[in-house]
């Protein structure tokens, strides 16, 4: 069974580049949610692992609040982690009024990059209410999912979905401009189409969810796993 592990988050009011430092496990597939205020860049995150893998965006998950000024995006690494060492995950969107990133490792998947997602969904420019991105089809019970909500409250303060039970991993915020970012995951057991969070947002928000595809899982000893080439080197 594939499992999700929260690696860390950074979300603050400083402009520009943000980083998370964490030690992933061998064979992890890294998933990064980025969210920034006053910024419209589609720049992908990077990391300092030696294989030089690039990150692919899950385009169905890109969303905005406050028209196009505040964007949230989801990126998936184009290669499984090859070295379980301290790694700096970086997002450099250029000038912003704040923001950051949430980093997860999904263990047990063989698909990488955008091919790792079975499906994704988003909500744009919601005035208030319970974040509820709606998938195109029901999630499969054995697949892990990750969701995030980006709002105008410090901290974001939105509780995780309770039935089935999700885990909220991040609940950050800053005051100038007032902003919040929540992230959550579930390893298995989700079968809904509408993925409602556990409470409402009192402020404007956008939200997203991505379901990962376990139809080609990694099996056996990850230490014997062959290198999977980053997507940019594949033909």
Q: What is the pLDDT of residues 64-119, one digit of tens each?
A: 998 889 999 999 999 999 999 999 999 999 999 999 999 999 999 999 999 999 99
Query: CB neighbours of 7 closer than 8 A, spacing ≥ 6?
Result: 20, 22, 24, 30, 89, 103, 104, 105
pLDDT score recorded for residue 221:
42
The residues that bridge with 204 in the sheet, in sequence order, are none
Beta-carbon contacts of 87 under 8 Å, excluding residues fewer than 6 positions away, are: 21, 22, 23, 24, 47, 48, 49, 81
- What is the length of the chain? 235
32-37-39-40 Cα dihedral, nearest 10 degrees: 70
Arithmetic mean of pLDDT, 127-153 = 98
Highest mean pLDDT among 59-68, 160-169, 209-218: 160-169
Categorize the per-residue pLDDT at 216 as very low, low, confident or very high, splitting at 50, 70 and 90: confident
CA of residue 216 relative to chain centroid, distance:
21
pLDDT in tens, 157-196: 999 999 999 999 999 999 999 999 999 999 999 999 999 9
| Angle 28-34-39 from CA coordinates, rounded to 5° | 160
Closest CA to 100 of 183, 195, 166, 215: 183
- Whether residue 223 has pLDDT greater than 50: no
End-to-end CA distance of the chain: 29
Collapsing DSSP to helix, strand or coil, 116 comes out as helix
Do the beta carbons of residue 203 and residue 106 sit within 8 Å?
A: no
Give the start-to-end residue ranges of the domains of the chain.
3-219
């Amino acid at each position: 069974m594939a499992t999700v592990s929260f690696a860390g988050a950074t979300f603050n009011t400083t402009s520009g580049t943000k980083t998370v430092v964490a030690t992933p496990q061998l064979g992890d597939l890294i998933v990064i949610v980025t969210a920034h205020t006053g910024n419209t860049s589609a720049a992908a995150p990077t990391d300092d692992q030696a294989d030089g893998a690039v990150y692919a965006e899950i385009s169905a998950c890109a969303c905005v609040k406050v028209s196009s000024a505040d964007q949230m995006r989801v990126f998936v690494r184009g290669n499984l982690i090859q070295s379980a060492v301290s790694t700096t995950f970086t997002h450099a969107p250029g000038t912003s009024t704040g923001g950051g990133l949430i980093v997860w490792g999904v263990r047990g998947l063989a698909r990488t990059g955008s091919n790792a997602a079975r499906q994704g969904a988003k909500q744009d420019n919601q005035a208030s209410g319970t974040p509820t991105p709606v998938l195109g089809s029901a999630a499969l019970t054995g697949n892990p999912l990750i969701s995030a909500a980006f709002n105008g409250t410090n901290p974001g303060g939105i509780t995780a979905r309770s039935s089935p039970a999700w885990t909220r991993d991040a609940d950050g915020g800053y005051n100038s401009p007032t902003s919040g970012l929540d992230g959550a995951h579930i390893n298995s057991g989700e079968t809904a189409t509408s993925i409602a969070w556990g409470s409402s947002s009192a402020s404007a928000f956008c939200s997203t969810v991505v379901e990962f595809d376990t139809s080609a899982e990694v099996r056996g000893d990850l230490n014997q796993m062959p290198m999977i080439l980053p997507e940019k080197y594949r033909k």
